[in-house]
Chains A and B, each alone.
Chain A
């Protein structure tokens, strides 16, 4: 880790020489105020709401009252098969989609970085283009390409006697995965590519003079040296997977039922909100935040242990 801490830009001790310290406070304050209001307050409010349950009287005539009951919502979430199933689905999604996407991104970055590549600028730009397309619009586009009756992809495959049921129960999760992969591969590629660019040329030259093949150099030198970028993109991809919402939500209306309203945890929480079940929605949000936190930190711990040894 020592190299890493050297690379990290030091928080310099600027020469303020007893200048009014309130200048710094004045500059930070506007951001701080909105940060507290728009990040900390809602989070605190969600935790607070998740600790209460709505109690209705027998006839349902008077307004329901909030009763402090810190565990009920959490127990309900963990014993809710629909919520658990959505967690499992997203976990499966992440375990498959994240390695595939980052594998593609790494391969693409290595190819564009390689000496055999021509028109590098063109390929960089085309792979990054999907990033400029909003997630829901990308999902709209792909849904048109997927839709059974009019799918132009299946029209192309028809002469071969192949029809891909993109929106069937078994396929739909991977059709969603394809949309996400399409949207984010180029973005991850750019991060990995820029790390590749910063590998000192002398190291690569030395390996070449020693007779290492291009494959060997890529596998034994380039990939280990872009490790921080790979860790970064992995963590962002884990976070992105936990957010899975836009793509399945858009596909839902054309999926013919293979995507239900609790397909992903965020969709489940959103459905609970739409049903006015705020405490339960709050509890699921908190659970999800904690799970993502644990996952990211665990990943960091594991990858760091590797680098220390």
Chain B
């Protein structure tokens, strides 16, 4: 166990040295290196090597962008012609109409799925972040018996694939009658061992003992210190943990697919796959447009909150 903890911690520290949460822009290079590389860059690289590197990187970029590009192009074609040639180029711009049709077809169930996803991921991520930050802060700032044990168990949980808990959770929920209850999706998702790990690291870094001591002298209660001072100083870390939780819940498929059968309670991942596997009962065109729309919220979230997830991702990274 200790080895695993160390690997995780090493990765974290390497990352923090470069892209720490306190350094929001996260452009990387430490100062000395940055000055040096700027001065040397153009002198030391030949045009040929720049060209080769750019071409190879361009090939990678094409590989990563092609499926998303196809999805966008296909969703913009006239309704029903999503798979017409040319595959990778436009045939008019009908995205607006198509999205409107998506949102109104089947009694607007698609919008319902999106709302469910937002609700599950939002509630799960907020509560999960709160629980994780409390536990992580306590692990970083208080010494109590069993602290190492608690932290060890949390780390072990980080390293066990979450999907392995899904079937046992399903068995347990069907025993206690929680099937088809949104709680069956939300309750497991508010437990984030990785969030505890991250917030312990961040609390140790960003909440100085002196501040806590000063607050105590001023007569602030222990719990008050956490909620009024600790949480405020940990805000960037909390945003990161929130994002990670949100993405993980939004992307989850197996758990909601197993515990929620009622279509109107399903998140968008489960709903779309059910359309996809409906053997043509739902036109594939709707699935294509739905897939594009379902990707947009997370893409926007990622683009706008870049500086936060970069810090968090490099600080340990988990699937």
Query: Contact residues of A with B, CB < 8 Å?
Result: 1, 4-5, 7-9, 11-16, 19-21, 23-28, 30-32, 34-35, 37-39, 41-43, 45-46, 49, 104, 108, 111-112, 114-119, 122-123, 125-138, 140-145, 149-153, 155-156, 182, 184-187, 190-191, 194-195, 197-198, 200-202, 205, 214, 226, 228-229, 231-233, 235-236, 239-240, 242-243, 245-246, 249-250, 252-253, 266, 269-270, 273, 278, 281-282, 285, 288-289, 292-293, 296, 300, 304
Contacts and interface: CB of A to CB of B under 8 A. Distances in A.
B83 A201 contact: no
Contacts of A126: 60-61, 64-65
B19 to A, nearest CB: 5
B171 A152 contact: no
Contact of B201 (A9, A133, A235): A9
B90 interface: no
Nearest to B132: A31
Given A4-B10, A39-B193, A191-B314, 12 more contacts: A23-B138, A27-B138, A42-B165, A42-B171, A117-B57, A130-B67, A140-B291, A197-B19, A233-B317, A236-B319, A239-B161, A273-B258
Interface stretch (B41-49, B99-107, B233-241): B41-49
Interface in B213-267: 213, 216, 222-223, 226, 247, 250-251, 253-254, 258
B159 A20 contact: no
Given A232-B7, A288-B164, A289-B164, A133 B298 contact: yes
Interface residues of B, number: 127
B272 interface: yes
A133 B164 contact: no
A-B interface, 7 closest residue pairs, ranked by CB to CB distance from nearest: A152-B87, A201-B33, A42-B168, A46-B168, A24-B142, A27-B138, A150-B83
Nearest to A117: B53
A120 to B, nearest CB: 8
A247 B272 CA distance: 14
Contacts of B160: 239, 289, 292-293
A14 B74 CA distance: 58
A208 B160 CA distance: 42
Interface of B: 3-15, 17-19, 28-30, 32-33, 36-37, 40-41, 44-45, 49-50, 52-54, 56-57, 60-61, 63-65, 67-68, 70-71, 74, 83, 85-88, 131-132, 134-135, 137-144, 147-148, 150-151, 153-154, 157, 159-165, 167-172, 175, 187-188, 190-191, 193, 196, 201, 204-205, 209, 212-213, 216, 222-223, 226, 247, 250-251, 253-254, 258, 269, 272-273, 276-277, 279, 284, 287-288, 291, 294-295, 298-299, 301-302, 306, 310, 313-314, 317-319
A218 to B, nearest CB: 12
A19 B251 CA distance: 42
Given A115-B44, A253-B277, A269 B167 contact: yes
A138 B269 CA distance: 11
A13 B5 contact: no
Contacts of A292: 160-161, 164
Contacts of A41: 172
B138 A24 contact: yes
A200 B29 CA distance: 9
Contacts of A226: 14
B187 A34 contact: yes
Given A38-B187, A112-B57, A232-B317, A19 B222 contact: yes
